[in-house]
Amino acid sequence: MLDWDIRIIGITDDRYMEGRFFEKIERAIQGGVRVIEIREKGLTGADFFEKAKETLKICRERGAKLIVNDRVDIALAIGADGVHLGKNDLPVKEVRRIFDGVIGWTARSLEDALVGEEAGADYVGAGSVFRSETKQAMIIGIEGLKRIKEAVNIPVVAVGGITHDNVGRVMKAGVDGIAVSQALFSGDPYENAVHLLRIMEGYVNN
């Protein structure tokens, strides 16, 4: 049973960090975000390692968890709290043999979600719920999100195109949290986190 506060998972994206990567992560955590997911598709392994190591230090100091997107080797090397996987990554069952942390799984359909749960994932990231600048993926909409939530027994985190304007609709689908980049890191992450959590109050039990 995942006992993390996953109301908001903040996914890093350099398009919104404005050259203040670590400062913005700190601001997000100060605003109430308890899980950061570092996603760095364009970095070399060495650069990703150094960035992830510094991010983990901030998370440890501030009482937050760190998930590494895709790179199980980086997660293992720095001692991250979790790793997030998709269809093109190592299988969940194999990662479970070598990694003792939380494993998230990307679900772009109900079938994906069931596969992830069966494989032993701790939660699914379901989406894209709406069209997203960050992640180009099939749109499942609110109804698709509801179907996934009703079908699995592990936490469901909604991802894709979630904003301050539509987060209420997302939470009404019964999900356990949201994963966001632009809605959190564009502008002031502290203010964005506080605003999102205020809207989400009453929808999520932690």
Q: Report pLDDT digits (tens) over 32-80.
A: 999 999 999 899 999 999 999 999 999 999 999 999 999 999 999 999 9
Mean pLDDT, all residues of the chain: 95
Banded pLDDT at 1 (limits 50, 70, 90): confident
Distances (CA, A) of 59 to 8, 45, 75: 14, 20, 14
Domains held by the chain: number = 1
pLDDT on residue 140: 97
pLDDT value of position 135: 60
Q: Are 24 and 189 in contact (CB under 8 A)?
A: yes
Q: What local confidence, expressed as pLDDT, does residue 203 receive?
A: 80
Nearest to 17 by CA among 33, 38, 46: 38
Tell me: pLDDT of 206 over 60.
no
- Answer whether residue 126 shows pLDDT above 90: yes
Q: Is the pLDDT of residue 8 over 90?
A: yes
| Token pair recorded at residue 107 | 């679900």
43 occurs within a structural domain: yes
pLDDT at 144 over 80: yes
pLDDT at 25 over 70: yes
Going by DSSP bridges, is the β-strand pair 123-126/177-180 parallel, antiparallel, or unpaired?
unpaired
Give the CATH number, domain containing residue 56.
Answer: 3.20.20.70
Q: What is the domain extent for residue 46? A: 8-103+164-200
Instruction: Give me the pLDDT at residue 177, please.
Output: 98
109 found inside a domain: no
Q: What is the pLDDT of residue 56?
A: 98
183 in Cβ contact with 164 (< 8 Å): yes
Closest by CA position to 124, among listed 6, 5, 3: 6
Q: Work out whether strand 123-126 and strand 102-107 pair parallel, antiparallel, or are unpaired.
A: parallel
In a domain, 51, yes or no: yes
Instruction: Please indicate, yes or no, if residue 149 is contained in any of the structural domains.
Output: no
In single-letter form, the type of residue at position 176 comes to: D
Instruction: For residue 154, tell me if it sits in a domain.
Output: no
Is 83 among the domain residues? yes
Q: Whose CA is closest to 60, among 74, 81, 46, 75?
A: 81
Give a yes or no: residue 97 inside a domain.
yes
**Is 20 inside a domain boundary?**
yes
pLDDT at residue 205, as a whole number: 52
